[in-house]
Structures are given as C-alpha cells and as structure tokens.
Structure 1
Amino acid sequence: MLKKFTLLYVEDNDATIDAFIGAFQEYFKTIFVARNGEEGLALFETSHPDIVLTDLQMPKMGGLEMIARMREISPNLPIIINSAFSDTHLLLKSITLHVDDYILKPTDPHLLLQAFEKVARVLNLEKSLVRSHTMMQTIIDEIPDPIMYIELDFSVSMMNKAAKELGGEDVNALLPKCYKISNNTSGACAEGSPLCPIEHVYKTKKPSTQRHVHTDKKGKKHHIDVAARPIFDADGIVIAYLEIRHDISNYLDIQNKLLHKTKKLTHISMHDSLTHLPNRRLLADRIDHAIERKTRSGGEFAIFFIDLDHFKEVNDTLGHLIGDQLLIQVAKRIRTMTRKGDTIARNGGDEFVLLIDDGVSKSHFTTVAEKILKLFEAPFLIQEKEIFSACSIGISIFPQDGQTVESLLHHADVAMYTSKEAGRQQFTFFLPQAAV
C-alpha cells in the first residue's frame, strides 16, 4: 500500500535517521531526508512528497513552523509528528495544524506503520475518486473514519460503512441529505448552519475543518473534526464535496490528562510535601510580585521569619514522626489567621515565613506578630499527647529593610535570631545595626 508513495522524513538525529531508513525504506517508493525545518521545507517544495514525517525540536526551523508553512501550500498533505515531547502546548498546536497523527518517541514501529497505512488509505481514496463506484465503495469501507461524497445539493451519493453507522434520518435512502444524517447526533451541521464546513468550502473553494460536539445514542459526547474539501472537474469547477469525520475524543482525553498532570507536577514543585504550604520557590515568587506591586503603587509589606523554639528537643525526645505532626499542626494554626493575599510558607526544617501584604503601619505588623505568638498558647494534641511549643519571630519591612527577596528574607532571619538571643518566644523588628 505504501510502495507507491514518497515520504519526506525530517529528523536531526543521525542515529535515529539510520534506524528509520533501515526499518522503513522498503515500504516507500522514495524517502527524502531533511535534518531541520529549513531543509524540510525546501525538499517539500522541490520533491512534492505524498506524506511527511517530522520531529518538532530541530535547529534553524522547528517542526511546527515548518508544518504551518507547508499547510499554507498544501492544506491536505498528510503529516505525522514523531516527537519525544508530549506537553499540552505542543499537542494543542498540532491539533490546530490538523496533523494526521502524533506518535511519541521512543517510537513503536508498529504504531508508526499503522499511521502510515492510515494516511495511505486516505491518499488512495482521494486518487481513486475517478474509478468506478463499486471499486470506490470497497476502498472507503476500509476507512475507519466516516466519509461522505456530497453533491452540490447536499445529497450524499456515496458513503462508507462508518458513515452509515452514524445513523440519522434517511441514512438508507437513495440520496440522503448530509445534514439529515448529522441531525440524528447533534444537529451541528444542519443545512445553513455557520458550523457547516461545506458552507465555507462553497464560498471559498478551499478545504475547511470545523469542530463539532456530537452526542451518540448512549448520551456520550464525542468531539469530531469535520473536514470538507472541494472536488473539482477538469475546468476547475466545484462539482461535489468530500467530507471526512475524525473522532478526536481520545486525543483530547490524552491532552486533558497531560494538562492535569502538568498542573499537578507544577503544584508539587511549588509546595512543601509535608505541610502542603508553599515552598521556598513559590515564596520567593510571591515576594518578588509583592515588590513589583509596591514599587509601582507605594506602601509596605512585611516578612515574618518564624522559627519554632526547642524543636530539636521534640524530635530527640518524642521522635521525628511527632515532630512532623507538630509542624503540620503549626502550619494549620498559622494559616487560620492569614488573609487573602497573604502567604504562609515553609522555609525548611522548623522555619516558616509569613508574607503579610498591604500592611498599613508598623503597629499593624506588631498586632500580627502578637497573634502568631498567641497561637502557641494552647498545646498541640498529637497522638493523645499535649505538646507545648513556642516560636521566635523576626520581621523585616519593605522597602526600608530591603528591596530584594534575598535582603528581606535575610534581614527577617537576622531579626529572628535577635529574638532567640533575647530569650525566645517573642518578636523583633529588624534593626540595621543588627546586620553589622
């Protein structure tokens, strides 16, 4: 099936190219090889391949840019992406460019061969439209996607088995209307509807693809790409339309799962695994944003460096599991007194940092510090044991105590150690002489 077609292979890794040629050379009439997007585009314009297989991340010109340029010249060219990258941005962009398949590296040769064979079947279909009706019907029935050959009056003169399985009104009629077949699922492609790709093809004489959401008989929603392209006679007059429907629901499910996984990984990278509070990385980002806001608008904010007193003794006498539970409960108590816009983060060990945004005066920050100390008056109940704890607090204020993340944290830390040296269980504002 593939032997009559030429392939343009765009890949910048020599070992990968050698492996691919060794595995697939016998399947194609000719394989053209390019090592970056610029070479690929040049070969495409001179060799006019039937199919394109490309990587994404390459020097000089990336795969997505190359595909976009090719699509301007040949909107219907079968293009398959073979890449090690599976992030959501690349998947969304490839969907927008209407690639025929997206196969992840390390490449499964069987899956890649299946993808080639699928696009080859579509190519065979398009090149065989001039053949007899019987031969055409035999070919299109092998295509898993619903296909309809639609006349200018919207009557369907030919469809494959997959299209018939859509059901719909008059599906078994001699010349059913395409929009009546569609209406049985969702009606998204009704005659005259702005979502009908054939309407766009009729006006522009160019291929068009529209995204529909269809509901099957069981009530399940399917996301369908409905692609329509014009069929021309020898004089360049549109005489019919070819419509191919491709269910991309599974593709979108993978995309959504990747997006969810990306959000989850981002959350994990920005939060402490024990207390689930923001970690140093997210804290620094929040402080940096606060600096930018206050630099523009004026005003103050404060950094509270909170260190538990005698926490090492808790770990040494009661064990690290009790110590961990104490840290979790301390985090919960401090979080109860924070407002929207404030940030409580775990800096590591038994250290917490509280960012109080929009402070109106030093007396306001004093009140906050007193509230934090008061949180430790009641014991913590852990494994049916009452554990008393306390903390020492150091406070730095933007902008007078620092205008960078590093200086504000350092000066709050210095102030905290001043509290420790003064007897613990108290708070201290940063004084410049203390940093000397």
Structure 2
Amino acid sequence: MLKKFTLLYVEDNEATIDAFIGAFQEYFKTIFVARNGEEGLALFETSRPDIVLTDLQMPKMGGLEMIARMREISPNLPIIINSAFSDTHLLLKSITLHVDDYILKPTDPHLLLQAFEKVARVLNLEKSLVRSHTMMQTIIDEIPDPIMYIELDFSVSMMNKAAKKLGGEDVNALLPKCYKISDNTSGACAEGSHLCPIEHVSKTKKPSTQRHVHTDKKGKKHHIDVAARPIFDADGIVIAYLEIRHDISNYLDIQNKLLHKTKKLTHISMHDSLTHLPNRRLLADRIDHAIERKTRSGGEFAIFFIDLDHFKEVNDTLGHLIGDQLLIQVAKRIRTMTRKGDTIARNGGDEFVLLIDDGVSKSHFTTVAEKILKLFETPFLIQGNEILSACSIGISIFPQDGQTVESLLHHADVAMYTSKEAGRQQFTFFLPTAAV
C-alpha cells in the first residue's frame, strides 16, 4: 500500500534516523531525510513528497514552523508528528495545523505503520477520486450540450466544455453561480420564460424540465430545454443537482417546416388543383360529420348536385383552357353566396356539390337553388369571349333522402338528371320514385 508513495522524514537524531530507515525503507518508494525544519522545507519544495513525518524540537527551524510553511504551499499534504513532547500547547497547535496524526516517542513501529497506512488509504482514495473526476470530465466534455454539477447554493463545482463556452468569462470565477453562466443574471431564474428547474427540484426532489427562450447577440431566439435532476447521498438527502441544457431551436424549426409541409400536402390532397375548392374526399368527410351532428341533435341538411349545361360545347368550340377558366369563375360565383357552415366542392369534370348544413326547411333549400340559377344569368367574360352558361341542379335532403354519404350524393345526382331531362337550367328535389 505504501510502496508507491514517497516520504519526507525530518529528524535531528542520527540514531533515530538509522533505526527508522532500517525499519521502514522497504515500505516506501523513496525516503527523503532532513535533519531540521529548514532542510525539511527545502527538500519539500524540491521533491514534493506524498507524506511528511517530522519531529518538533529541532535546530534552526522547529517542526511546527516548518509545518505551517508547508501548509501555505500544500494545504492537504498528509503530515504525521513523531515527538517525545506531549504538552497541551503542542497538541492544540498541531490540531490547528490539521496534522493527520501525533505519535509519541519512544516510537511504537506498529503504531507508526498504522498511521502511515491510514494516510495511504486517504491518498489512494483521493487519487481514485481524481481519476474518477478526470474520467468523468473527459466523458462529459464530449457531450455537446452544456452540463453542470450544481451545489445547493447554485454554485457550479463541475461543468463540461460546452458549459464553459456558454459561461464566457464567468467560468473563471471560483465556484461560479449556475444562473450567471447560463442566463447571465444576478439571481436564480424565477419568472417569465426562465422558470428555474432547480427551484422545482429542490421542492419536489423529482426531475424537472423547463423551456427557456434566449435571444443571442444577433437577435436570434433560441429555445432551450433546461433539465435538472437531484443528486442524493446514501441517506436519500439531496446534496446537489445535475443540469443539462439542450438547444432545441433547430429541432423546432424542422418540426415547424414539416408541419407546414404536412398541412400543405393535406390541403393539396383535400382540394381540387384547378378551382382550389374542396374535392370529393373532403366533401365526403364534411357530409359524414354533418350526418353525425344531425343524428345527435336532429334537423336537416341538403346536398345540391350542380352540373353545367352544355359544358362540352365550350371545350369543343373554345378549347379546354377556356373551359378550365369557366370552371374557375363558376366556382368563384357559387362561393360568393355560400355561408360559413356551407361547403362548395368540385366533384370532378363540370360537376359541383354544395352542402347546406344549417337548412331549416325545404323552402329555404328552394331559395338557395334559385340563387344558384340566378348566378348564371350574367355571362362569363373569359379572354374576350362572352360565355352564357347555365346549370342543372339536383337536391337530396337528410335524413329522408338518405342517411349515408353515398346515398345522399347518389340521390342528388339522380335528381340532377331529372332536371336535365326536364329541359335543363332548373332544380329538382329527389323523389323516391326516381331512385335507380
């Protein structure tokens, strides 16, 4: 246990020195010998021994003065006194100098060996702790997020490179405060966008995460997740906190972009690319929701199946581009008369479907149909062409004309063909006798 340590032995009696060397030389890596306090101090400064064993009464400089000088240089140096003097004054002075042990002469070799081994165990533990600390420091330095080991008074006793970079000049202070390093504030975060997770941990003894918002020197906002957890001793008492800060700004940016793209793709999948009206998929969803609401609360709603009259002639004579523009303008006109709860959708080709979700009577639906027909009385002006168009309308009403999306659309379609057969440019309510 002692073989890897060096010892400085300070003693002015040659016979005592010879006896000690003979008994203990094999235990230590090296034994440096000084014959007074002055020599001992000089040897200490040049050889830096691991342990010091010293007498008290010596010429030139006594043991206590030498120890006091050594303590100024190395406060934690293990020092053992081996002296024949045992008066109270010397013992008290030794205590104030934090001497590790006091062995009286004549020296019991076994007692002295026990003192050496006790000191060696402490030194081994300290070196083990230093190795553990170094290893831990090496590990956490590789982590890109700032990490701090925070004492109960908010002072930081250990941090990684990322935290040091975050703290700037403040990390050079002795045990700097965590809030000074992370937030550059004079006190613990407590309000607004900087709630202190450690305050919460100290009260609950459970991990806590708070989101902070910081603005850097360039004016850019950073969203930081600050996670803290308690460190317990063997008795379950909180002795410190571990805090990790993770900048999630890039993640949130990516998340927002993905959300925007998802919304855009969802909109595209639910809308007609030409008129930008809801398509059949979204229409079916709206009708399905209307069925659920009216089934619970009672009441009616209507489906208007609108088909342009002689639309094929427009495409054949003026071209498909003009036909597309006509569909766009028809969609705009119908949209002008719809209300917030209504849905106007393109069913495909020259077919449109209008969902009137808050109708109160058949007469109300009749009024709506008449307004739609009236929209077509004004010609459409497209690229210098004045186009007079018209439409045929079929109407089905929930619940009497159907209680599913498919049946309501089918029956409105059947009623629309009845309008076509009756001469076009009119509307027809579905009749069960007309069902195919």
Taking structure 2 as the reference length, what is the TM-score of the superposition? 0.65
Distance change (3 Å), C-alpha of 1:410 and 1:133: closer
- Cα offset for 1:409? 1.0
Q: Tell me, in whole angstroms, the C-alpha distance in 2 between the residues paired with 1:55 and 1:287.
A: 101
Which range moved further: 389-398 or 140-149? 140-149
Whether contact under 8 Å (1:272, 1:278) holds in the other structure is yes
Higher-Rg structure is 2
SS at 1:213's partner residue?
strand
SS at 2:86's partner residue?
coil
Q: Tell me, in whole angstroms, the C-alpha distance in 2 between the residues paired with 1:320 and 1:367.
A: 33
Distance change (3 Å), C-alpha of 1:361 and 1:91: farther
Distance change (3 Å), C-alpha of 1:431 and 1:76: farther
Identity %: 97
Q: How big is each residue's C-alpha offset from its partner over 1:240-290, in whole Å with a ceiling of 9 and x where there is no partner?
A: 222221111111212222222222222111111111111111111111221
Which range moved further: 414-423 or 217-226? 217-226
Distance change (3 Å), C-alpha of 1:186 and 1:10: farther
Q: Tell me, in whole angstroms, the C-alpha distance in 2 between the residues paired with 1:164 and 1:304.
A: 69
Q: Tell me, in whole angstroms, the C-alpha distance in 1 between the residues paired with 2:268 and 2:86.
A: 19
Distance change (3 Å), C-alpha of 1:179 and 1:339: same
- Cα offset for 1:214? 2.0
- Cα offset for 1:410? 1.1
Equivalent in the alignment of 1:223: 223
Whether contact under 8 Å (2:194, 2:213) holds in the other structure is no
Q: How big is each residue's C-alpha offset from its partner over 1:290-346, in whole Å with a ceiling of 9 and x where there is no partner?
A: 122222222221111100001111111111111111111100000000011011011
Distance change (3 Å), C-alpha of 1:69 and 1:134: closer
- Cα offset for 1:17? 70
Which range moved further: 53-62 or 358-367? 53-62
Whether contact under 8 Å (1:183, 1:190) holds in the other structure is no
Which range moved further: 406-415 or 258-267? 258-267
How many residues align structurally? 436
Whether contact under 8 Å (2:346, 2:353) holds in the other structure is yes
Whether contact under 8 Å (1:88, 1:259) holds in the other structure is no
5+ residue gaps, structure 1: none
Q: Tell me, in whole angstroms, the C-alpha distance in 2 between the residues paired with 1:226 and 1:241.
A: 12
Q: Tell me, in whole angstroms, the C-alpha distance in 2 between the residues paired with 1:273 and 1:240.
A: 60
Equivalent in the alignment of 2:75: 75
Distance change (3 Å), C-alpha of 1:19 and 1:423: farther
- Cα offset for 1:398? 1.6
Equivalent in the alignment of 2:212: 212
5+ residue gaps, structure 2: none
Whether contact under 8 Å (1:314, 1:323) holds in the other structure is yes
Whether contact under 8 Å (2:333, 2:375) holds in the other structure is yes
Equivalent in the alignment of 1:6: 6
Q: Tell me, in whole angstroms, the C-alpha distance in 2 between the residues paired with 1:119 and 1:154.
A: 33
- Cα offset for 1:405? 1.4
Which runs of structure 2 are paired with 1:10-409 in the superposition (5 Å)? Answer: 131=131, 137=137, 140-167=140-167, 170-184=170-184, 189-190=189-190, 195-233=195-233, 237-409=237-409
Distance change (3 Å), C-alpha of 1:383 and 1:135: same
For the aligned residues, what is the CA RMSD? 26.1
Distance change (3 Å), C-alpha of 1:381 and 1:291: same
Q: Tell me, in whole angstroms, the C-alpha distance in 1 between the residues paired with 2:167 and 2:43.
A: 44
Taking structure 1 as the reference length, what is the TM-score of the superposition? 0.65
Q: How big is each residue's C-alpha offset from its partner over 1:12-42, in whole Å with a ceiling of 9 and x where there is no partner?
A: 9999999999999999999999999999999
